[in-house]
Structures are given as C-alpha cells and as structure tokens.
Structure 1
Amino acid sequence: MTASPAAAAAAALTTRAQEVSPRIVDDILTLVRQETSSYDLPGLATGLDLLRELTVQRLGRPDHEQRYPGGECGDTLTLTYAGTGAGAGAGAGHVLLVGHYDTVWPTGTLAGWEQLRPSDDGRDRLSGPGIFDMKTGLAQGIWALKLARESGVPLPTVTFLFNGDEEIGSLSSRPVIEETAQKADVTLVLEPTAHGAVKTARKGTGIFQVTATGVEAHAGLAPQDGASAITALSEFVVAAAKVAAPDRGTTINTGLFRGGSAINVVAGQATAGVDIRVSSEAEQARVDEELDAIKVSDPRVRIDIDHAWNRPPMTLNAASAPLLALAREVAREQGRDSLPDTAVGGASDANFVAALGLPVLCGMGAVGDGAHAQGEFIYPDTVPAQTALVAGVLGRLARPLRG
C-alpha cells in the first residue's frame, strides 16, 4: 500500500531528525557548557550571546530581533523569522517559541559534574546543569525550525523568545512574554516534558516574604523585656503549613528562615521565604485570607506578609484544546502511539500565556528527569522524535489555528 502524502512527509521528517541528531546533541552540550545561573549576570550575557550565535548559525539572520535589558535579571531576546511559501503574507500564522536560558545552578557547578550517567534501564543518559531544564529544549526548538524549512512545507512566521530569569519568577521578562504572545497565534513552550507528556496544566505560584518584628532585649539580664521575632515567626510558619490543602492542590513550603542578631539577644527581627502552589484562583484567595488571619502568641510582635503571587494557575483552556489535538495528530503521523498530556506542580512561562486565554502548549522539550536536582539528565535517543514533533507542528501552522 502506498503511504499517504502526509505519512510520507512525516516519515521523511523523522528520518532527517535521526540523521542530524548528533549535531543537535552537540548544540545541546555547547549550551550546557556555558553556565548561566540566574544570579550571574556576566554568565547570562555570555550565554545569551552564545544562544543567539547558535540560532543564527542554524537559521541565518532573523528578519527582526530585539534585546530587552533585564536590569538585575538576564536580558530577554526575541528573534523573528518570516513565514514562507503559501502561508506567508496576509492571513499567515505566527508561532511563538518560548524558552529560558537561565538555570538554578550556581556558577562553578559544572566542574566535576559527571556528564555521562549510568542507567538502570539500559538507555544512555546525558547529564549536566540545565540540560533537562531546559537547554535541550532550546536546541531542539532551533533545529525544529531548521528541519521544517528543509522539508519544504509552507511555514508560519516564528518568533523565538529567550529569557534569562524564568527560574526566579520571570520578573523582567513577563511583560515581554505577554506582549509577544498576544501578537502570535499560538505559543509553544520548550520546557521539558513530563516523561514524554506535554504539560497542559500547571499550578500557580506565590513567593511570599514574611517578616516578624519583635523587641530586642538581653537574653540573660532582661529576657522578659524582649519579644522574640524568631519565636513568633516559628509559630507563624507552623500555622501556615496547616493552611496547605494537598487534596485541593495547595502546598505551602517555608524554604528560607533567617533572624536574630546574636545568640544572647532576644531576636528583634526574622524573615521567612514561603513557596505556595495552588491549582485555582479560589485557592489563591483562600490562602491569602487564612494567612492574614494567623495570630502569634506575643502581641508585641508584628507580622507583615508580602503576598507576592508570581504566576497564575494554568489549565487547558478552550483556546489550547485544538492545539493539543493538532500536536497529537502530528505525533500519530510520525508513528507515535500517543501523546499524553498531564498536570504538574511546577510553574512556567506558559502560565502567563494561558491566563490571557491564548492557545499554549508547554513541555515540548526534553525527555529525561531530575529538574533542579544534582544529576538532571536527558535521554539522547529521544532528541530526534521531540525535535521532529515541534517541526511537524510548525509545518501545520502556516495559517492560524482555528478552534
């Protein structure tokens, strides 16, 4: 039986991805070897220059580019490549590919990191700081457009958005992401997969700073005159943990705690950094209300809470459902049995796009595991299929997606 044109094109694309897979992996490792800690501005600047150079090497000079200064964060860069063929011009599609180049790993982590990791399942693994989250996705995204071009199909305009502050909340890049997404028809976020599944729901995040202000006193001569900020804040942290409701998708974690000035002084001040994850706006409102209602035993201590909600919850909105269906259709054409989707606790820049009611798929990048953990890794044998998937989706979006 003769294969359909769509099946033949999909087979050719996946074969080509297999052929160039060693080159894609080389590009991944090139990006990993340049450390880009979220807090290392010189390293971030070098890393972004390297990423831009790599993109230009593979795709040529963009039709438009803009670099947005990040201030105390890494800069954000957009590179736009005009659409081609029958899909170009009026009514053409426009796809935004989003990826962050910053990592959670302090500069210097790379030294001594074991790149090749033994595997219990017999598959090769590649490891390195940021390789899973998310430098593999960056390289795959670049090569996806390259392979889609080589296939000769009409293509949409594609804008790459590379930001250097995602791991610390996209503090500088958020307005750029939101503005650019509103100009595009769909957004694909190149974050790692969840064991091969795309991510269609993510929790919203809060990064709260809680400050306790007490009264200092000598711990030996006049302890009764003091009001310990540390004691009060400890009470608050214990009470805050009880506000969590895992059955409703709400978790609360105090990850940082600092306070006091000396061991023999009743502490006058203490601070705590609290990470909050919620699955709905209703839970967000409940958490705000119940944290504000917490009382500590010593009324002389004042508790101040900075309610810093960083990312809204993400769900599979009506605009994104057709995009998921399209990705699954492409996956089937490329020989996959399925393309599952899932909800995860972590947040990403996709949360911002989904909150605007725009079509977005997240988790289009690496297959591996260990995000934010020593030894994070990818399976290099999945690089061709993931790259071909994004390329195939691009090849179906020469005109705007219709729900």
Structure 2
Amino acid sequence: MTAVPADDLTARAHEASARIVADILSLVHHETGSDDLPGLAAGLDHLRELTVSRLGPPDREERHPGGEYGDTLTLTYTGTGPGHVALIGHYDTVWPTGTLAGWEPPAPDADGREKLGGPGIFDMKTGLIQGVWALALARESGAPLPTVTFLFNGDEEIGSLSSRPLIEELARRVDATLVLEPSAHGAVKTSRKGSGIFRITVTGVEAHAGLAPQDGASAITALSEFVVAAAKVAAPERGTTINTGLVQGGSATNVVAGRATASVDIRVTSRAEQDRVDRELDAVRVSDPRVRVEIDHAWNRPPMTLDAASAPLLALAREVAREQGRDELPDTAVGGASDANFVAALGRPVLCGMGAVGDGAHARTEFVYPDTVPAQTALVAGMLRRLADPLPGTPA
C-alpha cells in the first residue's frame, strides 16, 4: 500500500471544522423519524445535496425505493487506486417529527467543554457528514484514493428491513466497509450483539368474567406466565438479555381475555446462545392447556465479532491514528446492533463506530462534542488514503 504522511489531514480537518459542523446541524434540522416517509424523503434529498456540494456529482447513483420504509441511496465516486471502500450510515432516527421544536440545547460540561444536541445528532447524522468530508479532505491531499461507495439507508432503526440485501450485496463487492455509527467514547466498535424482536401471540378462550369465569382461559394470565419464564432464559453472564417491552391484550375488563400479545427484545453474543434461546423459549409451557402460545422467532441481526477478516482493518485504523498523533485507538464490544452485523456475518472486513464522539443515543440528552469532529473526520480520511490499495489478505 502507498505510504502517505497523514498529519496534513488533521490540519485540513481543523481548518474545515466550522463548515463540517454547519453541515451536521443542517442535516439535524431535517427531521427523519423512521416512520415519517415524507420527512425521510426530504432528509435524504438534503443529505444528497450536501454530499454533491462537497464532492461533486457521483460517477454512479442509485436510489432504491424502500416501500413502507425510507429509501436507500448509493453514491459511488471512482478513485485513482484499485481499492474499493464502502462508507455506510443511516439517516433515519428514533425521534418522531416535531421533536426538534422542544429539544433543549445541552449545557456544557463542568469544565466548559461545548456540546451540540439535537435529534439524531449522535446516532448518527454527525457520522454521515464526517464521512462525506473525509473523502473531500482526502481528495484535497492529492493522494491516491480508492473508489468510495456511500450507502445511506432510512430504515436501520427499525431493522434495515428493506436495505439489508443492498448492504450485503455492497459488502461482497468492496474490499472494506467502514460504518459511520457513533463511537463508544472514541473507541471503534469491533463486537456487537446479535438481536431479535420476537412476537408472542397467545390465544385463549373468552368468557364472562362474572357469570362463567371457569369457562374462560385467560390469554393475559398465560402471557404473564410466559413473560416470567422468558426472563429466566436470559443469561447476563453470557451477554444474553431478554426484555419484554410491549404487551397488549384483552377486550374489556369483564371479559376473560381471548387474545394477548407481547414484543420481546433479545440480545445475544453468539450463535450458540441464539440457538439456546430458541430452544428454551419453544419449551416454555403455560398452566392452562386450553391456551395456545405462538412465537415468531424474528432474529434481525447476527452477532458481530472481531474475526480474521476485520482484524487487519483494526490494525490499519490504529496505525493511522498513531500517525495523526493519537496516543491510542481503543476498540470495544457493545450491546447494540448495527448494519455492521450484516457485513461481519458475511466474513467481510468491517469496522463500526467510525463516527461521532458524544453520548446519549436514543435519549433526549443526545449530544456530540464538536471539538472531536476534526479528529474523527481525519481518521476516516486517513483510512481512505491507506485503502487506495486493498488490504493484504482481503477475502475475495
């Protein structure tokens, strides 16, 4: 691979810092809740405009309709080297339209360190803009660069239901994938839990709660038994968590409930745990044999671990960080899942958490530290310069 001094990237990123932050805030002010199709469409249009304003028109562009979810946009910029890198990030957020109006600006840290807040600023609109500027700054340096394909999807927060095939197809074609999700306090994310959202449907027998309760078989009572049993399947010491987050059921207070449902969030660190959870939940029995329990085993993302394909990418990121004056670039395992899980499951090189430094994902305390924007942008830019040639040993 071509060795290029990297210090200039950090200087360039600091010079551009005000413009990068302005682009971040501009994108944050386009609300893009996962269930707001008009908002998602407008937000994606704006993201494309920002990208083209910094990089020019792409060499290839495809907008893939998401149907009932946000569209996925791919923009490819041809490089001067043989490498090909994917920069992936989602523009949808967990925040409903209208949240911005009531958002309270975050107070500075006790030492006066500035914070910037807003719906989606940490997860993950800052990372999107940093990725765009990373390519812009790397181009300005005049170094050889890989072909870069941006993939912006609008359904990650609800499982990447329409974009997953596009992510997987892209990951198979490129030499490396950098996912622009927020960092873990500056650490890149090399391991993530697999996740599933199971739907539990319980069918009982309705009856009058006063006149003939014995004729009924309560779906709510049975579901309560199931929820308690499911909680015992969790194994926190192995990283397996089970949370019943939504419960609905019944038709009236004087009717023995004939139907009840629950949505259960499950996180695991390995395929073995995934198989164990499946078996043990299927084995749960409720006390009333007249009740039927159905389980939709909806595993969404497989577990992600640091494997032989991705370890060289982490080593390269640490080398770039040292060249740019960082003492270290830690990596970590986190409980949340991302689109990086899909890439890792294919055995392709991937690093996640290449985006913002801040905290408060999915909370009204969500914020980023603007003083970290130059360093994070320079890190991705430095990675792009070093990936002008494919990593040695990259899977074909």
The TM-score normalised by the length of structure 1 is 0.96
List alignment gaps of at least 5 residues for structure 1. none
Residue 124 of structure 1 is matched in structure 2 by 114
- Between the aligned partners of 1:20 and 1:116, the Cα distance in structure 2 is 24
Residue 75 of structure 1 is matched in structure 2 by 71
Indicate the RMSD between aligned Cα atoms, in angstroms.
1.1
- Between the aligned partners of 1:357 and 1:133, the Cα distance in structure 2 is 25
1:111 alignment partner, SS class: helix
The counterpart of 2:18, out of the listed 11, 18, 22, is 22
Residue 386 (1) aligns with residue 382 (2): no
Residue 351 of structure 1 is matched in structure 2 by 341
2:290 alignment partner, SS class: coil
Is contact 1:199-1:362 (8 Å) kept?
yes
Residue 220 of structure 1 is matched in structure 2 by 210
Is contact 1:207-1:275 (8 Å) kept?
yes
Is contact 2:197-2:264 (8 Å) kept?
yes
- Between the aligned partners of 2:273 and 2:61, the Cα distance in structure 1 is 40
Q: Which amino acid aligns with 2:135?
A: L
Residue 319 of structure 2 is matched in structure 1 by 329
The counterpart of 2:294, out of the listed 289, 294, 304, is 304
Residues 111-165 of structure 1 deviation map (CA, whole Å, 9 limit, x = unaligned)? 1202343323431100100000000000000000000000110000000000000
Q: How does 1:38-77 map to 2 (within 5 A)?
A: 38-77=34-73
Residue 171 of structure 1 is matched in structure 2 by 161
Q: Which amino acid aligns with 2:200?
A: V
Residue 153 (1) aligns with residue 143 (2): yes
Residue 35 (1) aligns with residue 46 (2): no
The counterpart of 1:395, out of the listed 347, 365, 385, is 385
Is contact 1:6-1:333 (8 Å) kept?
no
The TM-score normalised by the length of structure 2 is 0.98
- Between the aligned partners of 2:324 and 2:3, the Cα distance in structure 1 is 9
Q: Percent same amino acid at aligned positions? A: 81
Give, in angstroms, the shift of residue 78 of structure 1. 0.2
Residue 141 of structure 1 is matched in structure 2 by 131
- Between the aligned partners of 1:120 and 1:401, the Cα distance in structure 2 is 43
- Between the aligned partners of 1:294 and 1:396, the Cα distance in structure 2 is 52
Q: Which amino acid aligns with 1:248?
A: R
- Between the aligned partners of 2:229 and 2:293, the Cα distance in structure 1 is 13
Q: Which amino acid aligns with 1:225?
A: D
Q: How many residues are paired up?
A: 392
Q: Which amino acid aligns with 2:34?
A: S
The counterpart of 1:107, out of the listed 97, 102, 118, is 97
- Between the aligned partners of 1:286 and 1:32, the Cα distance in structure 2 is 41
- Between the aligned partners of 2:344 and 2:298, the Cα distance in structure 1 is 19
The counterpart of 1:11, out of the listed 7, 13, 22, is 7
Residue 251 (1) aligns with residue 247 (2): no
Residue 288 (1) aligns with residue 278 (2): yes
Is contact 1:117-1:127 (8 Å) kept?
no
Is contact 2:27-2:125 (8 Å) kept?
yes
- Between the aligned partners of 1:129 and 1:47, the Cα distance in structure 2 is 13
Give, in angstroms, the shift of residue 15 of structure 1. 0.9
List alignment gaps of at least 5 residues for structure 2. none
Q: Which amino acid aligns with 1:287?
A: V
Give, in angstroms, the shift of residue 6 of structure 1. 6.4
Runs of 4+ that moved beyond 4 A:
none
- Between the aligned partners of 1:177 and 1:120, the Cα distance in structure 2 is 41
Residue 342 (1) aligns with residue 325 (2): no
Give, in angstroms, the shift of residue 374 of structure 1. 1.1
- Change over 3 Å in CA distance of 1:300–1:188 after alignment to 2: same
- Between the aligned partners of 1:172 and 1:6, the Cα distance in structure 2 is 39
Q: Which amino acid aligns with 2:129?
A: A
- Between the aligned partners of 2:254 and 2:367, the Cα distance in structure 1 is 47
- Between the aligned partners of 2:207 and 2:65, the Cα distance in structure 1 is 46
